[in-house]
Amino acid sequence: MKDEITITVKDQDGNIHELICPLEMGLSLKDLCKAYELPMEAMCGGMAMCATCHCYILNETSMLPEKGDIEEALLSELFTTLPSSRLACQIQLTAAMDGLFIEIAHN
- Per-residue pLDDT tens, the chain, 107 aa: give them: 679 999 999 999 999 999 999 999 999 999 999 999 999 999 999 999 999 999 999 998 788 999 999 999 999 999 999 999 999 999 999 999 999 999 999 87
Cα dihedral 10, 67, 29, 82 in deg (nearest 10): 10
Torsion sign, CA atoms 29, 32, 37, 42: positive
Domain map (residue ranges) of the chain: 4-104
- pTM value is 0.93
Question: Does an H or E element contain 31, and which?
Answer: helix 29-35
Q: CATH classification of 4-104 is 3.10.20.30, yes or no?
A: yes
